[in-house]
Amino acid sequence: MASESPTKTASAPAVVPSTPAETATTTSEQGAAGAVYPYPFPPPPGYPPPFFSYPPPPADPDAPTPPAGAATPYMFPYPPFYTAFAPGGFQAPAPPQQTPSSPGDSRRKRSQVKMACTNCALACKRCDDQRPCGRCQKYSLHDTCIDGQRKERKKGIKRGPYKRRARDGDDGDNESPPPVFSSSSTTVATNPSTNGSAPTEWAVAHGPPTSAAPAAPAASAAPPATVAAPTAQAAVGGAAQPAPQTLTPQPFPPGAFTLPPGFPIPPGFQMPQGFQLPPGFPMPPGGIFPLPPGFAMPPGGMFPFPIPAPPSENGTAAAAAGGGNGPRPPAHAFYPPMGFFVSAPPGAPGAPGASGTSTAASEEGAGAGVVGAQGQPLAQAPVSGMVPYFYPYPGFYPPAVQAQVQQAAAMPAIGAVEKPKRRGRKPAAAPTTNGGTSRIIAVSVNGHGHGHVVQNDDGEDELEEEEETRGGRQLELEARAATVAEEEGMGDEDAEGDGEEDT
DNA sequence: TCGTTCGGACGTTCAATTGT
DNA sequence: CAATTGAACGTCCGAACGAC
């Protein structure tokens, strides 16, 4: 639907959907990559503060924005945990915002009643579902506060060819931001042999094709799973439901999950042999973790859980776990409840698909410009493609803080600039074009001059036809007008006539 | 100041068109 | 046949204006 279009796009390459924490972040501490972006929720004990994938939108519009190619880390929400923890299930955060110049994104959607009463419709005033409505009560119009009747839609109107819908797989030669990733592109493979409830691999199909295609062997070992629709139920329930998408296991890129030097391992957390979570943390439910609607998947990266497959005689387990035929990378510590590590944005130096680089990143050089323990920025290292990120999912925090998170999620995205629009009457109204072939000629159909009567090139014929096909509501309104006119000694000519101002 | 008028932005509906 | 598109149709915001 067109009215839902605001949810379709994101802006900058590194832009990922707003998260509660993000939207709640209003500080001006945005800067180069690796800056610690404060967020409103306290980190759990033993964890460094999470940082954001990219600088939050500046509170100050004049604040400089970091260069597009900056090695800002992505932040990727970790849906399963989010889902598991968030009270009432997962609440998808606000979808990615368009560029800051995108107008009206933050404008609250106007609600309107299904059918305004005749009085409100005539006055172009807000109505409600009560009868008499509030406005009619206010003006003591109880008896005339009745629903109108919708005009029947015209049929048999020939339309031109429709515009082709932009597909996900289209090449990126358009101006739309690269890889606005979507849940539909998520691929997942499960590793039944490693941990029945833990996913072993995340991958995305966006971005330049990696050498992921030859993952067929893994697929045979672990048949392509399907991603359940990105609903909270799917993840919460643990058992992933069969779903529409076929998953293609993809190999781990070497070094994809490099933990940056100095990156702390949370106390109590030990890597794997099946996910030893810190006390109190839940096991990820199920083996499939669909992205919730509106979430963006970082492009061109691989997002497995770095769980090493247990040794196997024939290696099938490893293949299944790794989803590929390449060597598995060493397991890296990460913070399961908070997030995991992804690669740099496409186009960034060292990012997958960037010229002169490969998906692989050296173990030592990865993770440029990130935070270390206690939020201390690490030394800036050349971007090598791997940047880590966290996701501070709300369930991590006490209920009071979770409430903040929920509240923040409901807030309009920061940076969405509401363009002041001039509304209402214009001094001199020029005919408004309406799609090129027709125009609104502001002939009164409903009583005061804006009935949206369309005039084609042969305008008058169209108008007469409009007159003939007017619906009951207009006839009703006109009948009322005619009644008044008769009482005043006038005919109903005007009411039946051109529909011009009858007030 | 308050009520009315009304241009036009915006939301909803649904037939036409397209994709599978 | 389902999904998508996009125009018809409707609601109502808010500036302009008049009456008191």
Q: C1' nearest to CA of A155: which nucleotide? A: B15
pLDDT at position A156: 77
Same domain, A145 and A12: no
pLDDT at position A326: 34
Q: CA–C1' distance A115–B6 (Å)? A: 20
Residue A227 lies in a domain: yes
Same domain, A223 and A326: yes
> What does the alpha-carbon distance between residue A98 and residue A454 come to, in Å, rounded to a whole number?
33
Residue A145 lies in a domain: yes
Residue A28 lies in a domain: yes
Residue A148 CB lies within 7 Å of the nucleic strand C: yes
How many domains does chain A divide into?
Answer: 3
CB A262 within 8 A of CB A372: yes
Given A418, A453, A476, which residue is the final one in a domain?
A418
Q: Which pLDDT tens digits describe chain A residue by residue (503 residues)?
A: 323 222 222 222 222 222 222 222 222 222 222 222 223 333 333 333 332 222 222 333 333 333 333 322 223 333 222 222 222 322 333 333 333 333 334 456 777 888 888 888 888 888 887 777 888 887 777 777 888 777 787 777 777 777 765 544 433 333 333 332 222 222 222 222 222 222 222 222 222 222 222 222 222 222 222 222 222 222 222 222 222 222 222 222 222 222 333 333 333 333 333 333 334 333 333 222 333 333 333 332 223 222 223 333 333 333 333 333 333 322 222 222 233 333 233 333 333 333 332 222 222 222 222 222 223 222 222 223 222 233 333 333 334 444 544 454 444 333 333 333 333 333 332 323 222 222 222 233 333 333 333 333 333 333 333 333 333 333 333 334 333 333 333 333 333 333 333 32
Same domain, A314 and A344: yes
Considering only CA atoms, which residue is closest to the C1' of nucleotide B9? A423
Q: Which of residues 389-448 of A touch strand C (CB under 7 A)?
A: 422-425, 427, 434-435, 438, 445-446
Considering only CA atoms, which residue is closest to the C1' of nucleotide C15? A424
3-state helix, strand, coil in chain A (%, to 5): 20, 5, 75
Q: CA–C1' distance A427–C15 (Å)? A: 10
* Footprint on protein of nucleic strand B, Cβ below 7 A: A 1-3, 104, 107, 109-112, 114, 123-125, 139, 153, 155-162, 164-165, 421, 423-426, 429-430, 432, 442, 448-450, 452, 501, 503
Same domain, A380 and A327: yes
CB A10 within 8 A of CB A296: yes
Residue A34 lies in a domain: yes
pLDDT at position A473: 34
Protein CB footprint (7 Å) on chain C nucleotides: 4-16
CB A225 within 8 A of CB A189: yes
Same domain, A391 and A324: yes
Residue A328 lies in a domain: yes
Same domain, A382 and A485: no
Same domain, A238 and A351: yes
Same domain, A471 and A445: yes
Q: In what order do the strands lie in the sheet with A454-455?
A: A432-434, A438-440, A454-455
Residue A108 lies in a domain: no
User: What torsion, rounded to 10 degrees, do the Cα atoms A406, A410, A414, A417 define?
Assistant: 180
Whole-prediction pTM value? 0.30
pLDDT at position A165: 56
Considering only CA atoms, which residue is closest to the C1' of nucleotide B4? A123
CB A302 within 8 A of CB A201: yes
Q: C1' nearest to CA of A148: which nucleotide? A: C10
Give the count of alpha carbons within 13 A of A58, CB side only: 12
In chain A, the N- to C-terminal Cα span, in Å, equals 37
pLDDT at position A258: 29
Which two three-digit tokens encode residue A214? 């030859």
Q: CA–C1' distance A164–B19 (Å)? A: 10
Same domain, A366 and A395: yes
Q: Distance between alpha carbon A250 and the CA centroid of its chain, in Å?
A: 25
Same domain, A144 and A257: no
Residue A163 lies in a domain: no
> Structural domain of residue A131, as residue ranges?
116-149
Same domain, A267 and A325: yes
Given A356, A390, A418, which residue is the final one in a domain?
A418
User: What torsion, rounded to 10 degrees, do the Cα atoms A493, A497, A499, A503 define?
Assistant: -20
Q: C1' nearest to CA of A442: which nucleotide? A: B7
Given A386, A418, A450, which residue is the final one in a domain?
A418
Q: Distance between alpha carbon A257 and the CA centroid of its chain, in Å?
A: 26
Residue A165 lies in a domain: no
Same domain, A128 and A263: no
Q: CA–C1' distance A482–B7 (Å)? A: 25
Q: Which of residues 185-244 of A touch strand C (CB under 7 A)?
A: none
Q: CA–C1' distance A363–B17 (Å)? A: 53
Q: CA–C1' distance A287–B18 (Å)? A: 36
3-state secondary structure (DSSP) of residue A433? strand
pLDDT at position A266: 35
